[in-house]
Amino acid sequence: MKTTCEVCSGAIEVPNDAIKGEIVSCPDCGTEYEVIEVKEGGVSLKPAEEVGEDWGE
Amino acid sequence: MVKVGIVGASGYVGGEVLRLLLSHGQVEVVSATSRQYAGEYVFKTHPNLKGVTNLQFSADDPLKVASKADVVFLTVPHGLSCKITPKLVETGVRILDMSADFRLKDPHAYEKWYGFTHPAPDLLGKFVYGLPELHRSELKGAKYVAVPGCMSTAAIVSLAPLAKAGLVEKDVIVDAKIGSSGAGGKPSLSTHFSERFGVVRVYKPVAHRHTAEIEQELNYVSGKSVQVGMTAHAVNMVRGILTTSHVMTSSKPEVAMIWKAYRGMYKDEPFVRFIMDKKGLYKYPDPKIAIGSNFADVGFEVDPYVNRIVVFGAIDNLIKGAAGNGVQSMNLMFGFDEKEGLNFPALHPV
């Protein structure tokens, strides 16, 4: 299945056997999404939570 | 096979032109000149070519090269090319000029930025600015090409989508960092290892010559007058350029709109890569993963705090910033596959 990244409009490939809670990422901008619902012929995604990185403090 | 001559082949750019052309399936190098090293094997100066070719540097003058070749790469210093080129033009040979002498369309700009009166202003309009990402249609079948400067290439390729989309509203600030090979093959006290190693040297805080090219091309692509301020640093690497450019906007920049601008301009470009991967090992462009290739890596980030778009461009200064761009332009001039002789990845790790 393919879906579109809401950040960069890149094409995200979601496995046909994706399950709820699975993390998929956009190959272009790296934004990660969590599969929140699997429906017939499609999935619903939401941006996954991420931990920030700070090397300078 | 198209016959190619290289005038001034002993420098770093000449060496890279040679390396790329020796692996090119559609051309034959018929002359590589060097007055200093005439008669010597080219691998004595370019040791990476040992085992690749037994070609020797020739003492041919440019007109002799033109008599043997279909196309000439001029890899000679700024200010010399514009003295040689008028005579070459009379021979009918095609020319790829690696110097700055035919990059600018306005002859007065040479007085301002290069400090000399251009001796052949009538020829400026005959040269195509050799950046395929902006001038592909003009390069197809072109006779004369001015290959862009290295830092100009990184800055222009990374900024052009914003300029084209009308997102460059005011001045642009370009901060450039370049490795030691950008200074050429002739040593000086300041390039001596003891002085050069470990530096983050501000070597041109204002008025860098490439400013003129960047303005010219951003004006071309935006259709309006863009003013550029540029600062250049020499940093501790042999190859590579990173330009970090700052574009101030009157409202909060929208990420999706900027992505659309980059995709709209570059989605089919063979040598432009988007490096904007939050989860990537390299999250933004870095010359370290472009070195050895003809790729121009571009990326951006938005700063809503001060309404700023920060734009990054990374290239190998000797390839996409010089020889590779020249070969890519030559491929377009002769109708070859644009990727011929350039279809290889960067080195990693390096």
Residue range B24-44: mean pLDDT, rounded: 97
**B187's tokens:** 């040593």
Report the candidate in B213, B23, B190 with the shortest Cα–Cα distance to residue B99.
B213
Q: Residue B240 has what pLDDT? A: 97
- Disruptive mutation site among B262, B265, B272, B278 for chain A (greatest number of A CBs within 10 Å): B278
Q: Which residues of chain A have a CB within 8 Å of the CB of B263?
A: 8-9
Over residues B144-149, mean pLDDT: 98
Q: Which residues of A touch B255 (CB under 8 A)?
A: 7-8
> Which residue of A6, A25, A28, A32 to mutate against B (max B Cβ within 10 Å)?
A28
Supply B237's token pair: 């690497």
pLDDT tens by residue, B278-336 = 888 999 999 999 999 999 999 999 999 999 999 999 999 999 999 999 999 999 999 99
B252 backbone φψ class: left, alpha, beta (φ>0; ψ -120 to 50): beta
Taking CA atoms, what residue in A is nearest to B280? A30
In this complex, is the C-beta atom of A8 within 8 Å of any C-beta atom belonging to chain B? yes
The pLDDT-based confidence of A40 (bands split at 50, 70, 90) is confident
**Residue range B54-71: mean pLDDT, rounded:** 98
CA distance A42 to chain B (A): 23
Count the neighbouring beta carbons within 10 Å of the beta carbon of residue B28: 13
Residue B90 has pLDDT above 80, yes or no: yes
CB-CB under 8 Å, B277 with A9:
no
pLDDT at B21: 98
Say whether residue A31 is in contact with chain B using an 8 A CB cutoff: yes
The minimal CB distance from B279 to the residues A6, A7, A30 is found for A30
The per-residue pLDDT for B170 is 81
Q: How confident is the model at residue A42 (pLDDT cuts 50, 70, 90)?
A: confident
The beta-carbon neighbor of B278 closest among A6, A9, A30 is A30
List strand residue ranges (DSSP E) for A17-56, in order: 23-25, 32-39, 42-47
Averaged confidence pLDDT in chain B: 96
- Split at pLDDT 50, 70, 90, the class of A55 is low
Look up the pTM and report it. 0.94
Mean pLDDT of the B83-103 span: 97
* Contact criterion met (CB below 8 Å) for B222 and B168: yes
Asked whether residue B268 carries a pLDDT value surpassing 80, the answer given is yes
Tell me the shortest Cα–Cα distance from A55 to chain B, in angstroms.
14
| DSSP structure class, residue A21 | T
CATH number of the domain at B2-126, please?
3.40.50.720
What are the DSSP calls for B64-132, one per residue? HHHHH-SEEEE---TTTHHHHHHHHHHHT-EEEE-SSTTT-S-HHHHHHHTSS--S-HHHHTTSEE--H
Instruction: Please tell me the predicted confidence (pLDDT) of residue A56.
Output: 61
Cβ atoms of B144 and B102 within 8 Å: the answer is yes
- Spell out the domain ranges in chain A: 2-47
pLDDT of residue B54: 97
Q: Which of B179, B218, B176 is nearest to B317 (CA)?
A: B179
Residue B82 annotated in active site:
no
- From B4's Cα to the closest Cα of chain A, the distance in A is 39
Interchain CB contacts (distance < 8 Å): A and B: 32
Q: State residue B280's pLDDT score.
A: 87
pLDDT attached to residue B262? 97
Taking the C-alpha atoms of residue A8 and residue B266, their distance in angstroms, rounded to an integer, is: 14
Residues B12-23: tens digit of each pLDDT? 999 999 999 999
- B347 by Cβ neighbours in 10 Å (0-12 / 13-18 / 19+) ranks as middle
Yes or no: say if B182 and B74 are a contact pair by the CB < 8 Å rule: no
Q: Which of B7, B30, B150, B167 is catalytic?
A: B150
Residue B96's pLDDT is what?
A: 98
Dihedral, CA of residue B26, residue B30, residue B31 and residue B32, to nearest 10: 40
Whether residue B259 and residue A50 make contact (CB cut-off 8 A), yes or no, is no
DSSP state of B33: B
Is B68's pLDDT higher than 70? Answer: yes
Residue A7: closest C-alpha in chain B:
B256
Which CATH code is given to the segment(s) A2-47?
2.20.28
Closest CB to A7: pick one of B256, B274, B279. B256
From CA B109, how far away is CA A46, in angstroms rounded? 53
Provide CATH 3.40.50.720 ranges for chain B.
2-126
Residue A30 sits at the chain B interface (C-beta within 8 Å): yes
Neighbour order of strands in the sheet with B94-97: B27-32, B2-7, B71-74, B94-97, B144-146, B128-129
CATH T-level assignment (fold) for domain B151-315 = Dihydrodipicolinate Reductase; domain 2 (3.30.360)
Cβ–Cβ gap A50/B276 under 8 Å: no
Residues of chain A with Cβ-Cβ distance to B276 below 8 Å are: 8, 28-30
The model's confidence at residue B194, banded by pLDDT at 50, 70 and 90, is: very high
Say what the pLDDT of residue A39 is.
83
The whole-number pLDDT of residue B189 equals 93
Task: Assess whether pLDDT exceeds 70 at residue B160.
Answer: yes
Query: Contact, B100 vs B149, CB < 8 A?
Result: yes
Q: pLDDT > 70: what percent of chain A? A: 86
Average pLDDT over residues B57-82: 96
Contact at CB, A28 and B260, closer than 8 angstroms: no
Which contacts of B37-43 are long-range, i.e. CB under 8 A and separated by 24 or more positions? Answer: B37/B10, B42/B9, B42/B15, B42/B18
Residue B189 has phi, psi (to 5 degrees) of: -60, -40
Q: What pLDDT does residue A52 have? A: 61
Q: What is the pLDDT of residue A57?
A: 58
Give the model confidence (pLDDT) of B121-137 as tens digits: 999 999 999 999 999 99
Q: CA-CA distance, B289 to B208, in Å (whole number)? A: 26
For residue B278, what pLDDT is reported? 83
Q: Which residue of B has its CA nearest to A31?
A: B278
Find tokens 């990326």 and name the residue.
B299
Q: What is the pLDDT of residue B332?
A: 98
Among B260, B280, B283, select the one facing A9 at the smallest CB separation. B260
